[in-house]
Amino acid sequence: MDAWDAIRARRNVRSYTEEPIPDADIERILEAGRRSPSARNNQHWDFVIVTDPAALHELSTVWVGAGHIAGARAAIALVIPDPPDERSKLMDQYDLGQATMAMSIAATELGVGTGHSAVGDQDKARAILAVPDDRQVAYLLGLGYPADRPLAPIRKPDRRPFDEVVHRGRW
């Protein structure tokens, strides 16, 4: 699948098959995150890959929308340092968004579905992952092969019309 097809095929997947993801594919997905753009090239992120079913089940309880993590074959926790100020926080959050999208597109190219989640209970997430107290577990990205249907370009996405979203030259 080429990049354009992967962009068009990417969707939130929250129900996964039992099929394990090869280590080489997980490494490629993580490498896509590592190579993603970063403001001032700070690269404040760390990624914790989790494949243990018991740990995935525990992680699924750190946010009301994280239930799909329990059924994932793997999850990536995206971790950043506690920000010293609001500007640093915004830059790091933006960087994590780019890393998440890069990993999601890389996963899609491999036929691996992704489903993202926020993290509400920081203390619990840090304890599960042994993350230091001066760091935040910002997001989780579940990985697995889609249980419902394979990933393929979506012909009619549920998105606002192009001409409603795109403004040329000015609003």
Q: What is the pLDDT of residue 54?
A: 98
- Position 167 in a domain: no
Q: How confident is the model at residue 1 (pLDDT cuts 50, 70, 90)?
A: confident
Q: What is the pLDDT of residue 70?
A: 98
User: Hey, what amino acid is at 96?
Assistant: L
Q: What is the pLDDT of residue 68?
A: 98
- Position 164 in a domain: no
Containing H/E element for 116? strand 113-118
Count of residues making up the chain: 171
**Residues 140, 78: contact at Cβ < 8 Å?**
yes
- Position 20 in a domain: yes
Domain count, the chain: 1
Q: Which residue has the higher pLDDT, 2 or 94?
A: 94
- Position 171 in a domain: no
Q: What is the mean pLDDT of residues 116-126?
A: 98
CATH classification of the domain holding 101: 3.40.109.10
- Position 166 in a domain: no
* Residue at token pair 């760091």: 135
- Position 119 in a domain: yes
CA quadruple 12, 52, 110, 38: dihedral sign: positive
Structure tokens belonging to residue 148 = 């419902």
Q: What is the pLDDT of residue 154?
A: 96
Q: Which of 78, 65, 72 is nearest to 51 (CA)?
A: 72
Range of the domain at 25: 3-148
Side-chain half-sphere exposure of 146, counting CA atoms within 13 A: 18
Average pLDDT across the chain, whole number:
97
pLDDT at 160 over 90: yes
- Position 117 in a domain: yes
pTM of the model: 0.96
Beta-strand relationship, 46-50 and 74-81: antiparallel
- Position 161 in a domain: no
Q: For residue range 45-87, what is the model confidence (pLDDT) as tens digits? A: 999 999 999 999 999 999 999 999 999 999 999 999 999 999 9
Largest CA distance in the chain: 52
